[in-house]
């Protein structure tokens, strides 16, 4: 294994003190331009890389943010990460990204790794399995700032950024009702997740406000957010004698699955069945028919989340810091499917 080059090796090569090399690498005004150039030249030739952990121990700041999301292969999460990174980079911070793969145990392990890596703060969206938040409380007790985004726990006294899921769900179900739909089914995720419960409650509220019946047979709770699951769920719905005339899906990925199996079954969209999703994934614009949805400003949510946690990290009054909850309203996008 190749030996790591240290500032001692550079100092020996130039016959100067380690303090001089250290100051030169930090671009200190105490060191002459010529000496800085010589140090940088040798550092490059010797393939020197700074020890970020050691540097953070000295400065008590790593300038690194940890981000934990359920998955990175969904547009909402990737856009949110891009928003976080855009703000962090401008403020001199780097971002470490982890995905829990919807596993509580993996989420716990990731959070511990980040805390032990001395990140300056952690932004997290919980896995679908997470119902115990002791791992978050533990690192907060260690003095590490934590911000929750999109998938949050209201009981935790922390800053949060999330979509107004109740409003968004109610808005799009009201849209379906305005289009004459009276038998609206719902395909959603585990109701143990706050975001899933909020969208389900918005669906129920729209039905109630319009004096439409709530039929438990038209509600399907699936365990995984993928097209296969929503396709199978819709097949069962369509076997019912009392069939729905519209389906509202928790997420666009589920609406795609419903659309695909509808075509297989010869169902005319939207004549026989209206379909609506949530999220405004790019693909919803390009499938045929295009899918009505609620647009979430995911990039802006990431930016806002980054600004809030950086404000907390750099707050000089840690004891009196006021946590904020920012709730972002999504926008209705009407397309061919409804």
Confidence of residue 160 (pLDDT cuts 50, 70, 90): very high
Q: What is the pLDDT of residue 118?
A: 85
**Tens-place pLDDT, residues 172-213:** 999 999 999 999 999 999 998 999 999 999 999 999 999 998
Residue 38: which of 15, 14, 60, 58 has the closest Cα?
14
Average pLDDT, stretch 273-300? 96
Burial class (CB in 10 A: 0-12, 13-18, 19+), 244: buried
How far, in Å, CA of 220 to CA of 250, rounded?
A: 10
Q: Which neighbouring-strand residues pair with 187?
A: 220, 249
pLDDT at 3: 65
- Which pLDDT does position 57 carry in this prediction? 45
pLDDT at 58 exceeding the cut of 50 = no
Domains of the chain and any CATH numbers: 7-50 (1.10.260.40), 62-162+298-328 (3.40.50.2300), 165-295 (3.40.50.2300)
Share of the chain above pLDDT 90, in %: 73
What is the pTM (predicted TM-score) of this model?
Answer: 0.80
**Upper half-sphere CA count for residue 148 (Cβ side, 13 Å):** 26
Mean pLDDT, residues 6-26 taken together: 83
pLDDT of 55 reads: 52
Mean pLDDT of 1-29: 79
pLDDT at 233 over 70: yes
- 171: tokens are 């808005």
Ramachandran angles phi, psi of 132, nearest 5°: -110, 125
pLDDT band at 59 (very low <50, low <70, confident <90, very high): very low
Average pLDDT, stretch 249-275?
A: 96
Write the CA distances from 139 to 109, 113, 118, 147, integer angstroms.
Answer: 12, 11, 11, 12
Tokens of 47: 């393939």
**Phi then psi dihedrals of residue 248, to 5 deg:** -105, 125
Give the confidence band of 49 by pLDDT, cuts at 50, 70, 90: confident
Q: What is the pLDDT of residue 25?
A: 79
Instruction: For 303-324, give one letter per residue: b (16+ CB within 10 A) or e.
Output: bbbbbbbbebbeeeeeeeeeee
How high is the pLDDT of residue 229?
Answer: 94
Distance CA 239, CA 234 (A): 9
Q: What is the pLDDT of residue 142?
A: 85
Cα separation, 146 vs 67, in Å, equals 10
Residues 6+ apart with CB under 8 A from 19: none
């Amino acid at each position: 294994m190749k030996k790591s080059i240290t500032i001692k090796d550079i100092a020996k090569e130039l016959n100067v003190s380690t303090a001089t090399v250290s100051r030169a690498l930090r671009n200190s005004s105490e060191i002459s331009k010529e000496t800085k150039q010589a140090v940088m030249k040798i550092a490059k030739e010797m393939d020197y890389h700074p020890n970020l952990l050691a540097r953070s121990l000295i400065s008590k700041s790593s300038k690194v943010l940890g981000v934990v999301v359920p998955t990175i292969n969904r547009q909402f999460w990737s856009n949110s990460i891009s928003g976080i990174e855009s703000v962090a980079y401008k403020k001199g911070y780097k971002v470490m990204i982890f995905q829990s793969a919807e596993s509580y145990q993996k989420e716990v392990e990731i959070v511990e790794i980040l805390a032990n890596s001395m990140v300056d703060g952690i932004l997290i969206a919980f896995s679908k399995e997470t119902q115990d938040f002791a791992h978050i409380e533990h690192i907060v007790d260690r003095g590490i700032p934590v911000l929750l985004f999109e998938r949050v726990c209201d009981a935790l006294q922390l800053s949060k950024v999330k979509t107004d899921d109740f409003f968004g769900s109610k808005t799009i179900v009201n849209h379906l009702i305005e289009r004459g739909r009276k038998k609206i089914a719902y395909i959603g995720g585990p109701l143990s997740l706050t975001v899933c419960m909020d969208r389900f409650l918005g669906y129920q509220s729209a039905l109630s406000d319009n004096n439409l019946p709530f039929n438990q047979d038209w509600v399907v709770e699936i365990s995984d957010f993928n097209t296969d699951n929503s396709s199978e769920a819709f097949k069962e719905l369509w076997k019912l004698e009392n069939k729905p005339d519209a389906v509202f899906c928790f997420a666009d990925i589920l609406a795609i699955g419903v659309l695909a199996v509808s075509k297989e079954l010869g169902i005319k969209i939207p004549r026989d069945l209206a379909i609506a999703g949530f999220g405004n994934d790019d693909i919803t614009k390009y499938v045929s028919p295009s899918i009505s949805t609620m647009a979430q400003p995911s990039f802006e949510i990431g930016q806002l989340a980054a600004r809030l946690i950086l404000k907390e990290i750099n707050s000089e009054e840690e004891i009196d810091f006021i946590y904020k909850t920012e709730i972002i309203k999504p926008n209705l996008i009407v397309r061919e499917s409804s």
